[in-house]
Amino acid sequence: MHDNIITKYGQTIRALRQSRNISQEQLADLCGLHRTYISDVELGKRNVSLENIDRIASALNISISEIFLEVEKDEGI
């Protein structure tokens, strides 16, 4: 069964964050968001706004389109 887009996005963000050796707290600080928000995103519990997608992409130094290319691969990074 295919995961939904929210779950796939969260898995991709977690993989990107971990590949950069950044903690959830560090990513949250870089984004101006709360650590529990980042956790919820990664767990697929949040339907992320476009503004926060942009914040997260900027903090990870990756384009939004690159993130969604990874999401579309259906396997993260």
- The pLDDT score that the predictor gives to residue 53 is 98
The total number of residues written for the chain in this structure: 77
The model's pTM: 0.90
Q: In which element (H, E) is residue 44 found?
A: none
Domain positions in the chain:
5-72
pLDDT value of residue 73: 86
**DSSP per residue, 5-71:** HHHHHHHHHHHHHHHTT--HHHHHHHHTS-HHHHHHHHTT-----HHHHHHHHHHTT--HHHHHHHH
Asked if CATH classification 1.10.260.40 holds for the domain at 5-72, the reply, yes or no, is yes
Q: Average pLDDT per run of 10 along the chain, which is 77 residues long?
A: 80 96 98 97 96 98 96 70
